[in-house]
């Protein structure tokens, strides 16, 4: 986040009815499933620090975007409801990366691989390009495509 700042991600999240709250350096991130520097979520708010990876911010935000609005208010820390929802979250975060200056899908997919996301075909790119029909269908059914 330090590379791109909070303004562009906050504007992107706001378009989806979400709020981005910056957390001070060294402070615990509220609602972080993974802890340390990983983004957190509580209700429609996403929390991140300057050292939070952009892929983490987008991943948590996309969990909220893909879930039914009536579930958003009760979310705290763990947003996963199903494998299809998780796949849609991963796919959407790649698409939304193109809307953040200095990020884009290429960098995001490399960051996802470096962090340790795992896909059947061995890489984020291979999954995104060749094995994500179910994720695209999930997003299309919820009018979250195209981006």
The 10s digit of each residue's pLDDT in 14-60 is 999 999 999 999 999 999 998 899 999 999 999 999 999 999 999 99
Q: What is the pTM of this model?
A: 0.94
Backbone phi, psi, residue 45, to 5°: -110, 135
Over pLDDT 90: what percentage of the chain? Answer: 85
Q: How many CA atoms lie within 13 A of 77 on its CB side?
A: 8
The 10s digit of each residue's pLDDT in 57-80 is 999 999 999 998 889 989 999 987
With beta carbons less than 8 A apart as the criterion, state whether 114 and 73 touch.
no
Buried b (16+ CB within 10 A) or exposed e, 104-121: ebeebbebbbeeebebee
Q: What share of the chain is helix, strand, coil (3-state, %, to 5)?
A: 45, 10, 45
Q: What is the model's pLDDT at position 95? A: 97
User: At residue 81, does pLDDT exceed 80?
Assistant: no
User: At residue 11, does pLDDT exceed 70?
Assistant: yes
- Residue 43, sorted as left (phi over 0), alpha (psi -120 to 50) or beta, turns out to be left
User: At residue 1, does pLDDT exceed 80?
Assistant: yes
With beta carbons less than 8 A apart as the criterion, state whether 25 and 49 touch.
yes
Q: Degrees (nearest 5) of the Cα angle 59, 121, 40?
A: 15
Q: What is the model's pLDDT at position 147? A: 65
The full DSSP string for 2-52 is TTT-SHHHHHHHHTTT-EEEE--TTSPPTTBSS-TTS-EEETTEEEE-TTS
Distance, CA of 129 to CA of 71 (rounded, Å): 30
């Amino acid at each position: 986040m330090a590379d791109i700042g909070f303004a562009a991600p906050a504007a992107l999240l706001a378009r989806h009815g979400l709020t981005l709250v910056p957390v001070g350096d060294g402070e615990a991130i509220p609602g972080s499933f993974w802890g340390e520097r990983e983004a957190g979520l509580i209700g429609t708010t996403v929390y991140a620090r300057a050292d939070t990876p952009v892929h983490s911010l987008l991943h948590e935000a996309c969990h909220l975007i893909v879930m039914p609005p009536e579930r958003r208010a009760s979310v705290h820390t763990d947003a996963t409801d199903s494998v299809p929802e998780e796949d849609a979250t991963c796919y959407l975060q790649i698409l939304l990366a193109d809307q953040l200056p200095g990020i884009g899908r290429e960098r995001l997919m490399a960051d996802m691989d470096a962090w340790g996301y795992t896909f059947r075909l061995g890489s984020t790119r291979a999954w995104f390009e060749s094995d994500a029909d179910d994720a695209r269908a999930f997003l299309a059914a919820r009018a979250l495509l195209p981006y």
